[in-house]
Amino acid sequence: MREKEQLPLSPSQIKAAATAGHLWSLTEQLVRERRWDSMKYLLSNASLGEVSFDELVSTLRTLDRSLGHLPTSRLRSAKVGSHLKALRAIAGNCLAKSLRHDPLTQKEQAATILDAELLLTGGKLKEAAELFERAGEDDEPPMHMACLETS
């Protein structure tokens, strides 16, 4: 059984990583070490305006990729599964506040799709659908949605 995290992530660590443009690297490390509480804390604090849009998008892409590369043996526990679902849902909400304006640029549309995919895999289907629609992806269900509909 895994013990609680020994050293929680501090706001100064998040700010330092963001300032250096290495928030994505810290994200990769936290996922590799399975420091779920610190990852949730990072996501909650990263979306408060201290992190640039590009750095936040890069961080979310890294999170999505890193979670997707976790060994299957680490995903069997219900507790780990609930942590991953919660992380993806939190991550999916990170950019939503900064993407409420119209029109969205192409880069912002791509970030909205990333947000929607994270929300979808985090179990937030309604919010994901709204973001896919906002990004102009509502003509055809995204691949993830098609998989869910046939299950």
CA distance 147 to 151: 7
User: Which residues, other chains included, contact 73 with Cβ-Cβ below 8 Å and sequence gap of 6+?
Assistant: none
The pLDDT assigned to 28 comes to 92
CA distance 147 to 134: 21
pLDDT more than 70, % of the chain:
81
pLDDT at 151 over 60: no
CA distance 104 to 108: 6
Q: Domain map of the chain by residue range?
A: 11-150
CA distance 79 to 112: 28
Going by the DSSP 8-state scheme, the letter that residue 3 receives in this structure is P
- pTM of the predicted model, to two decimals? 0.77
